[in-house]
Structure 1
Amino acid sequence: MSDKTIRPGVKLALEYGPIIAFFIGYVLFKDRQFTVAGIDYSGFVAVTAMFIPVLAVASFLQWRLSGHLSKMQIATLVLVVVFGGLSIWFNDERFFKMKPTIIYLLFAGILGFGLMRGQSYLEAVMDQAMPLEREGWMKLTKRLALFFLGLAVANEAIWRTMSTDAWVNFKTFGLPISIFGFFMAQSGLFSRYGTSEEEKEG
């Protein structure tokens, strides 16, 4: 299926809608207990069970509408299914809380491996969105790998030492705001190393 244009509002809703749905579900059901087949599940685990199909449907719709899913989106969906499934199977919310740690360590490791080979894997997936000189890509990739590593450490520290409420707020609001802030902070790099499509082709 060829790539198609998807309206920004629809894309934003499909990407962040499941996260907001998880947050709302948690707020509504966090103090409730659900019994299924004689097994008691906390509200957190029940909402996790809801989140998995919601994310899967949103990812499918985005693929149908745009004809494309990024490798990051696919990896996130797979890890949500795996770790969310483990939380439900073992009735243990810790598996789902570890999921962001695994995702960010995976991304940091992939980017770091590319840097050790003298390559920017970030450039391979984002070149069309942000044309940069090679030196710019290498610097941005190094910074992003360290940033992902920092997010993994932060997630571990928060879910292990703080309340579930604090972790849900961090996941719903802290992570997106941190990522947005990181790219805003790179404006100087984008300005210094940015190139136009004409310059690249020339």
Structure 2
Amino acid sequence: MRNINPGLKAALEYGPLVVFFLAFLLLKERTISLGGNDYGGVVGATLVFVPVLVVCTLAQWALTGKLSVMQVLTLVLVVVFGGLSIWLNDPRFFKMKPTIIYAIFAGLLALGLALGRNWLELVMGGALPLTHEGWRTLTIRLIWFFVALAALNEVLRRATDPGGFMGLVLTDQAWVNFKTFGLTAATFLFFIANSRLFSRHALPKDGD
């Protein structure tokens, strides 16, 4: 795997999200016409987001020579569910994507532990050297974190449906804010909250 400039890497990873957010702000009160259909709001922003994500992901692959399982799975689900939202002009399919992807990640990690294989350690062990016990603890916490994010997204996206969900009524703007900023912030906070685990289970360096 080839290393690339950290600024460029961050731009390729988070740029599509920023584009989605800006496109939604531009289109939530307007529409764009394509193929005889009018698109606006979440669907219009999805129409912009999908090709941008495809280009940025392929650029990362071309520059580094490798993509993570999370990147590949995210790209596939975005293309499938984003494509369904655009085809049917219905934002619900795209809004379901975070629920499904976090549920899949939680399920895969749990299956790995059940089979006696920590797939998180296999994928990230080279970048984050921890003891096996540290990886097991982190994986269990990450499973519950992904379950919580999947459940939270499901509640919030249902609350944007007509009539709301269990008394909770949200606008599309609230869900877009959650997807753009809330999920990213939650991930950063999760790893910050586990900083003690990283220091406690870090493998000793040569000479220590």
Per the normalisation by structure 2, the TM-score is 0.91
* Cross-structure match for 2:177: 169
Q: Partner of 1:13: helix, strand, or coil?
A: helix
Shift of 1:198: 4.1
* Cross-structure match for 2:13: 15
Shift of 1:70: 0.5
* Cross-structure match for 2:105: 107
2:201 is matched with which residue: 188, 193, 199?
A: 193
Q: C-alpha distance in 1, partners of 2:37/2:56?
A: 29
* Cross-structure match for 2:190: 182
| Bigger fraction of residues in helix | 1
Whether the aligned pair in 2 keeps the contact of 1:34 and 1:43 (CA below 8 Å) is: no
- Superposed, 1:41-120 pairs within 5 Å as 41-120=39-118
Aligned alpha-carbon RMSD (Å): 1.3
Q: Partner of 1:131: helix, strand, or coil?
A: coil
Q: Which amino acid in structure 2 is aligned with residue 82 of structure 1? A: V
What residue ranges of structure 2 are gaps of 5+ in the alignment? 160-169
Per the normalisation by structure 1, the TM-score is 0.94
Q: C-alpha distance in 2, partners of 1:49/1:178?
A: 26
Per-residue Cα deviation, 1:75-125 (whole angstroms, up to 9, x for no partner): 000000000000011110000000000100000000010111222110011
Q: C-alpha distance in 2, partners of 1:18/1:188?
A: 32
2:127 is matched with which residue: 121, 126, 129?
A: 129
What residue ranges of structure 1 are gaps of 5+ in the alignment? none
Q: Partner of 1:24: helix, strand, or coil?
A: helix
Give the fraction of aligned pairs with identical amino acids, expressed as a percent: 55
Q: Partner of 1:40: helix, strand, or coil?
A: strand
Q: Which amino acid in structure 2 is aligned with residue 67 of structure 1? A: G
Q: C-alpha distance in 2, partners of 1:37/1:191?
A: 55
Q: C-alpha distance in 2, partners of 1:65/1:87?
A: 30
Shift of 1:9: 0.7
* Cross-structure match for 2:165: none
